[in-house]
């Protein structure tokens, strides 16, 4: 009986060691975050094509699920980190959010003007970086592959990106296609920290680049769907387009 007990213990120990070794090997088999991020650049068009684009105007529509709220969206972007998002919601009015590369702000009929500062400002400038795919090394101090997870039935590499200031950003890239399918982050806002998840799909070629035409965002128990209708690269955008509105300028003077 004692011999059997010893044999059982040895077999159990061997099984645990083998399982631990398998886990280590699985971790060793994960590609580096750098490999995954650079692959995404290539499968969506390649570094050379990105480097030829300097501005963008995208238009589309948005809808908040279950609330009967819908509107039109226009996004203006230009290098190095200027952007303006205009959302015209039926029955409510305009929501504006943007940055000239230094000042980051938002303005809405419901909440009025807001000047972004601290981590909120840092995140806005980071998100506004034109061709951010190419500049991930500048935007994040650390990038690591955290494992493999299933996202709506797709096996994805989970990549955690840590900025110098603010919360980490987690991106999920499809193992087969290399495309980004999900982003998860905690967003700083006047209402506090808000967990946000964004799903990207319906990739189509625009000006030599694969662009997601469907985005579904979940934030604060709300689901917002965005549908991209047109994308124009290297479009002419007036320089004053990215200036802060007068209501925001008034806050800056206080």
* pTM for the full predicted model: 0.84
* pLDDT score, position 190: 66
Average pLDDT over every residue of 62-89: 92
User: Given the structure tokens 């320089």, which residue do they identify?
Assistant: 239
pLDDT band at 6 (very low <50, low <70, confident <90, very high): very low
Q: Per this entry, what is the length of the chain?
A: 254
Cα distance between residue 185 and residue 135, in whole Å: 19
Written as six digits, the tokens of 197 are 């998840």
Average pLDDT over every residue of 222-233: 95
pLDDT band at 153 (very low <50, low <70, confident <90, very high): very high
Which residues have C-beta within 8 Å of that of residue 202, sequence separation ≥ 6?
212, 213, 214
Nearest CA to 228 among 11, 55, 13, 57? 57
Q: For the domain covering 31-253, report its CATH number.
A: 2.50.20.10
pLDDT band at 201 (very low <50, low <70, confident <90, very high): very high
For 115-131, the pLDDT digits (tens) are 999 888 999 999 999 99
In this structure, the number of other CB atoms found within 10 A of the CB of residue 14 comes to 10
CA within 13 Å, CB half, 205: 6
Domain boundaries defined on the chain: 1-30, 31-253
Cα distance between residue 115 and residue 90, in whole Å: 25
Which residues have C-beta within 8 Å of that of residue 188, sequence separation ≥ 6?
118, 119, 120, 123, 166, 167
Average pLDDT over every residue of 73-95: 93
* pLDDT score, position 111: 84
Phi, psi of 179 (to 5 degrees): -80, 150
């Amino acid at each position: 009986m004692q011999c059997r007990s010893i044999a059982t213990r040895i077999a159990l120990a061997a099984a645990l060691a083998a399982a631990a070794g398998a886990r280590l090997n699985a971790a060793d088999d994960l590609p580096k975050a750098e490999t995954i991020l650079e692959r995404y650049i290539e499968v969506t068009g390649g570094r050379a094509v990105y480097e030829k684009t300097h501005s963008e105007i995208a238009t589309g529509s948005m809808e908040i699920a279950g609330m009967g709220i819908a509107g039109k969206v226009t996004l203006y972007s230009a290098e190095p980190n200027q952007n303006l998002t205009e959302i015209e919601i039926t029955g409510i009015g305009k929501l504006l959010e943007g940055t000239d590369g230094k000042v980051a702000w938002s303005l809405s009929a419901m909440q009025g003007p807001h000047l972004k500062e601290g981590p909120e400002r840092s995140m806005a400038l980071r998100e506004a970086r034109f061709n951010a795919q190419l500049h991930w090394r500048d935007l994040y101090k650390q990038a690591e592959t955290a494992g493999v997870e299933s996202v709506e039935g797709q096996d994805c590499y989970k990549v955690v990106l840590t900025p110098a200031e603010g919360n980490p950003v987690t991106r999920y890239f499809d193992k087969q296609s290399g495309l980004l399918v999900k982003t998860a982050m905690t967003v700083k806002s006047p209402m506090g920290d808000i967990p946000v998840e964004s799903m990207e799909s319906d990739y189509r070629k625009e000006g030599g680049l694969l662009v997601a035409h469907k985005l579904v965002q979940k934030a604060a128990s709300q689901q917002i769907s965005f549908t991209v209708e047109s994308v124009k690269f290297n479009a002419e955008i007036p320089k004053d387009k990215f200036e802060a509105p007068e209501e925001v300028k008034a806050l800056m003077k206080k």
